[in-house]
Amino acid sequence: MKRNVLCTLAFDGSAFHGWQRQPNAFTAQQAVEAAVLRVTGENTPVVGCSRTDAGVHARMFCCHFRTQSAVPCAKLPAALNFYLPDALSVQCCEDVPDAFHARYDCKEKTYRYHLRNSRTRDPFLLRRAWFEGAPMDAALLHAQAQDFLGTHDFSSFCAAGADTKTAVRTVRRFEVTRESDDVFFTVAADGFLYNMVRIMVGTLTDIAKGKRPPGCIPGVLAAKNRAAAGLTAPAAGLFLWAINY
């Protein structure tokens, strides 16, 4: 009888070409699968809670894998971290029911987007934030973001090439706050389409820059057309922030 292990980790996305296994690039999934192989001796697939793009970070990421290993969960993080690159760290492991699935059982995900809004760069935020010098009104951004709340067809906020069955998602929370020169967009939903957060952030900043009128979001949603929305904000500012099962 194989155990089913839920693994919570964090990674610096600048070190990986996203989560998902790829033939010609190094991904976070491959790093974890290689570490599981070293620790358990088993070549077992590690299933992630979401695909993340190249350059996107994860403060919290969940995955599961099946194993016959007897290593207790209390000792697994240190064992896995021994074989993992420094840019990825397993925080904890727990045994879960056999039917548990890291992606399908996820009830809510929270992303946080970090926009650095200052005239000069901060070298410590390199590859970890989007730098925009033009002053942005966080209160305006927050007010406009409330138009995303609720259940909508988010086709306008989905990159071309996505192959999901439905573009309907429910956004439960969208807060924009400023702390000195840092603007944080925190958005929670039952699920996200490909590039959805980055396109929402890009469209909101268009409003803050005066390129689009306040109140335009409902019309962009109704268009159900990617071309109606704004630019895709850079990957570097995006963090998968929390996962709820």
**53 assigned to active site:** yes
User: Out of 25, 45, 51, 122, which residue is the one contacting a copy of itself (CB under 8 A)?
Assistant: 122
Minimum CB–partner distance for residue 140 and a copy of itself (Å):
26
β-pairing verdict for 108-116 and 182-189: antiparallel
User: Out of 43, 72, 124, 165, which residue is the one contacting a copy of itself (CB under 8 A)?
Assistant: 124
Q: Which of 243, 180, 235 is nearest to 15 (CA)?
A: 235
- Secondary element (H or E) of residue 61: strand 57-67
Helix axes 28-40, 76-83, angle to 10 degrees: 120
Contact between 12 and a copy of itself by CB under 8 A: the answer reads: yes
User: Out of 2, 38, 68, 91, which residue is the one contacting a copy of itself (CB under 8 A)?
Assistant: 91
CB atoms inside a 10 Å sphere around CB 75: 11
For residue 182, which amino acid is it?
D
- 204/186 Cα distance (integer angstroms): 13
Which of these segments, 86-94, 98-106, 172-180, 186-194, binds a copy of itself (CB under 8 A)?
86-94
Contact between 57 and a copy of itself by CB under 8 A: the answer reads: yes
- 52/63 Cα distance (integer angstroms): 13
User: Out of 81, 146, 164, 186, which residue is the one contacting a copy of itself (CB under 8 A)?
Assistant: 81
- 128/126 Cα distance (integer angstroms): 5
Residue list 188-217, contact with a copy of itself (CB under 8 A)? none
Specify whether the CB–CB gap between 9 and 31 falls below 8 A: no
Contact between 163 and a copy of itself by CB under 8 A: the answer reads: no
Contact between 95 and a copy of itself by CB under 8 A: the answer reads: no
Contact between 134 and a copy of itself by CB under 8 A: the answer reads: no
Closer by beta carbon to a copy of itself, 57 or else 152? 57
β-pairing verdict for 3-11 and 88-96: antiparallel
Contact between 180 and a copy of itself by CB under 8 A: the answer reads: no
How many residues are recorded in the chain?
Answer: 245
One of 53, 86, 137, 153 is an active-site residue; which one?
A: 53
Query: Which residues are at the interface with a copy of itself (CB under 8 A)?
Result: 10-12, 15, 57, 59, 77-78, 81, 86-92, 119-124, 126, 128
